[in-house]
Amino acid sequence: MPYVQQIVAPKRDRKDGPVLLVEDSRTFASILSYRFREEIGRSVVHCASMPQLEETLKRGEQNYPIAVVDLNLPGSPHGEVLDLVIRYGIPVVVFTGSFDLGARERILDRHVVDYVIKDNERACDMIVESVRRALANRDVRVLLVHEPGEARDQLAALLRAQLLTVVEVATGEQGRTLIEINPDIELVLIGQHLPDMDGLQFCRRIRRKHGDDRLRVIGILPTADRFLSVGFIKAGANDVIYQPLLVEEVQCRVAHTIDTLSQMKQLRIAAASDYLTGLFNRRYFYMMGPDLIEKCLQTGVSCSMALIDIDHFRRVNDTYGNDLGDTILTGLATRMQQLVDMDQNLVARLGGEEFALLLHGMDGARASIFCEMLRQELAKLRFVAGAQEVSVTVSIGVAEIEARETFDNYLNAADQFLFMAKQSGRDRVFSDHWMRVMGEAGQSRRPQPFETGGDVLYLT
């Protein structure tokens, strides 16, 4: 099998810049500027004439991720405004009032992101959506599995014009390997004729492991054969596109597929998130926790479980009301997200005032030190109840995961140490590591400062 290199995402220097709006109509300029700011969160640099645009681009003060360009700008009788913006390497959505087949060819020959005709009651909606989608496309990876040739080159160019990150391979086996080592590939376009298998075989093989809720497949068919289309759909494809390619059809079908992926992603996030704090919820923690622990055990990476409970939280609710209680829960969750590496560790609200952490790469000693830092930082937070400031403390139980057991056993172990923290006065961290250190030192159950690996862990 040929060597397949892992994909490395390119740098996006223009990603966070303002939208360049080239439009002489005050009405359209005002509406679009407002909507870009309010709905997409992007500032706007507006140019109303060709000289103003030339001067703005020469100054080079901004990196524009995208431009919306009026094709019929005064001083640009033959679309010179479009050529000027493209020369600066800025992706373009064309906004035009006059349109015919000749104009269509001139626009599409320049590989624009999209075009929208002004003579449409939804024109502004379509422009905003096109810009939103183009900006989001920069984070979407597409795999093109197609035999080399003019058809693949044309399709790759159309996809890159949509600002998608595109990787091209020629064989089905290369495509399968890339999907396995790059789980963030979300869309695959597959040709029918490959050197090592046909498109139908490729679809069947990847569908054995990858559902269409995370990976969408579009078949590229050499003919409008309905039986072949049905075959692709039954094999696991989500859509098909016929050759010769029609630019607008490719744009629409790919955009629809990516929109569906985005909606599914939002549903997964909603299903996995705690409604109040935005942290992962109990269901997600129980679903993902065992897999993460198993990976740590297989690779020999240390990991620990921690349970966090807010001290006397019921008393806070009874004294100050549930609104302040919710504010405290949200504030603590936000601070935990700032302090915990969310890419490496799993943090969830299990319910009520209890949180759980699965700490990757931390044995009992390191996890105890980390949780003590977390305890101290959470105690610094202040919340306002009328004219009064309120603070809370937390108790934390930490258990190192050293062998394969049931997931409930790991949680129960951390819960036992959490119970000990509460019984000994709250506002402290208890762990199996602390118990060992205290036992070896012959000290009493009253926690005292001690050193671990060069770090001082204060258990008050």
User: Radius of gyration over alpha carbons of the chain, in Å?
Assistant: 28
Contact 418, 449 (CB under 8 A): no
What is the C-alpha to C-alpha distance for residues 49 and 26, in angstroms, rounded to an integer?
12
> Does the annotation mark 451 as catalytic?
no
Long-range contacts from 25-33, C-beta under 8 angstroms, 24+ separation: 25/70, 28/70, 28/95, 28/118, 28/124, 31/124, 32/68, 32/124, 32/127, 32/128
In three-state secondary structure terms, 364 is helix
- Among the listed residues 324, 326, 362, 369, the one whose alpha carbon sits nearest the alpha carbon of residue 345: 362
Q: What is the largest CA-CA distance in the chain?
A: 89
Query: Residue 40: exposed, middle, or buried by beta-carbon count in 10 A (0-12, 13-18, 19+)?
Result: middle
Q: Where are the beta strands (DSSP E) in 35-91?
A: 44-47, 66-70
In three-state secondary structure terms, 93 is strand
Reduced DSSP (H G I as helix, E B as strand, rest coil) percent helix, strand, coil of the chain, to 5: 45, 20, 35
- Among the listed residues 226, 231, 227, 225, the one whose alpha carbon sits nearest the alpha carbon of residue 217: 231
Say which of 168, 353, 372, 400 is annotated catalytic.
353
For 182, half-sphere exposure in the C-beta direction (CA atoms, 13 angstrom radius) is 23
Q: What is the DSSP letter of 65?
A: S
* Cis previous bond, 244, omega within 30: yes
Sequence-separated (6 or more) residues with CB below 8 Å from residue 99 = 115, 117, 119
Residue positions annotated with a catalytic role = 353
